[in-house]
């Protein structure tokens, strides 16, 4: 074999090796990729508590809703109570649209100077129906006056009293509202009116100067509560778990 022939064969072999190396270097493997993207939206429960702005009306000796007030809904009103008077007062809980389904409750505290010497005292308990009416509060209390269920069965009220005989301490009566149904504000606000008015017209003859003095500069304070319904079997359990970490029973 001549030198030229050997040189040609060697050159050809090297070219084949380079081609083979190039093919092996670009060999495709069977592979696949995929991805999952998760977006977590944080749920919310939001409520507001307010009441209509009011004004005194001389003609009727009553406090009426002030339709021209700005704002129309307020956090507090101030009243001067007289015998034979009706007082517009409508504490309203609003579950804001877009909130998660929720259980709702409220605690109403009536603070007076000496409850036993007012027309509200009913020989052992406070006769709420003699003073507060409308909204959820319409209906009859049980015989012991401590438990009330709304006519539609959707709300339970319980009453507890912290009554002392000390002239230096006010008497506090607590009314607890528990809305049994789940409140669904997914498409619109949900409004829950606790009551609509106070009155000293019921048993008006008993609202004497002495009775009003026993009421003193009384107060009605309202607190509203809401907690997600998910994960709870009923309203009482949900509200108690969420808001009574100290172990005290409110709901």
| 8 phi/psi in degrees, rounded to 5 | -65, -45
Q: How many domains does the chain have?
A: 1
pLDDT of residue 251: 75
Does the pTM of the predicted model rise above 0.75? yes
Residues 6+ apart with CB under 8 A from 164: 171
Helix (H, G, I), strand (E, B) or coil at 153: coil
Does residue 151 form part of some domain? yes
pLDDT of residue 71: 95
Does residue 42 form part of some domain? no
DSSP code, position 172: E
| 151 phi/psi in degrees, rounded to 5 | -55, -30
pLDDT (tens digit per residue) in 157-192: 888 888 877 777 899 988 899 999 999 999 999 999
Does residue 249 form part of some domain? no
Q: What percent of the chain is modeled with pLDDT above 90? A: 49
Does residue 166 form part of some domain? yes
Does residue 203 form part of some domain? yes
Does residue 102 form part of some domain? yes
CB of 170 closer than 8 Å to CB of 111: yes
Report the first-to-last Cα separation within the chain, whole angstroms: 109
User: Is residue 158 exposed (0-12), middle (13-18) or buried (19+ Cβ within 10 Å)?
Assistant: middle
Q: What is the mean pLDDT of residues 72-88?
A: 91
CB of 63 closer than 8 Å to CB of 54: yes
The domain containing residue 55 runs over which residues? 47-243
Angle CA 37–38–41, to nearest 5:
145
pLDDT (tens digit per residue) in 3-51: 555 555 455 545 544 444 455 556 668 767 778 788 776 779 999 999 9
Token pair belonging to 18: 């380079």
Does residue 4 form part of some domain? no
Q: What is the mean pLDDT of residues 112-122?
A: 91
Q: Which of 94, 92, 102 is nearest to 243 (CA)?
A: 102
- Give Cα separations from 239 to 152, 180, 248 (angstroms): 21, 11, 12
Are β-strands 171-183 and 155-162 bridged in parallel, bridged antiparallel, or unpaired?
Answer: antiparallel
pLDDT band of residue 146 (cuts 50, 70, 90) is confident
CB of 135 closer than 8 Å to CB of 195: yes
Q: How many CB atoms lie within 10 A of CB 47?
A: 20
Does residue 159 form part of some domain? yes
69 vs 167, residue with greater confidence: 69
């Amino acid at each position: 074999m001549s030198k030229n022939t050997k040189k040609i064969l060697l050159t050809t072999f090297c070219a084949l090796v380079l081609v083979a190396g190039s093919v092996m270097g670009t060999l495709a493997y069977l592979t696949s990729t995929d991805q999952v993207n998760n977006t977590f939206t944080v749920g919310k429960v939001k409520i507001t508590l307010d009441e209509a702005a009011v004004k005194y009306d001389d003609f009727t000796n009553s406090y009426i809703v002030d339709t021209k007030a700005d704002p129309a809904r307020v956090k507090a009103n101030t009243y001067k109570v007289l015998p034979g008077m009706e007082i517009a007062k409508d504490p309203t809980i609003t579950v804001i649209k877009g909130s998660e389904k929720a259980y709702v409750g409220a605690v109403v505290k009536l603070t007076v100077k000496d409850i036993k010497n007012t027309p509200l005292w009913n020989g052992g308990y406070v006769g709420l129906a003699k003073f507060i009416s409308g909204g959820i509060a319409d209906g009859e209390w049980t015989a012991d006056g401590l438990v009330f269920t709304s006519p539609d069965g959707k709300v339970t009220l319980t009453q507890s009293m912290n009554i002392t005989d000390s002239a230096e301490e006010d008497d506090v009566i607590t009314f607890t509202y528990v809305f049994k149904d789940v409140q669904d504000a997914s498409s619109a606000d949900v409004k829950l009116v606790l009551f609509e008015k106070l009155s000293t017209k019921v048993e008006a003859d008993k609202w004497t100067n002495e009775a009003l003095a026993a009421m003193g500069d009384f107060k009605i304070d309202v607190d509203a509560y809401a907690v997600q319904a998910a994960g709870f079997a009923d309203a009482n359990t949900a509200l108690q778990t969420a808001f009574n970490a100290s172990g005290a029973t409110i709901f």
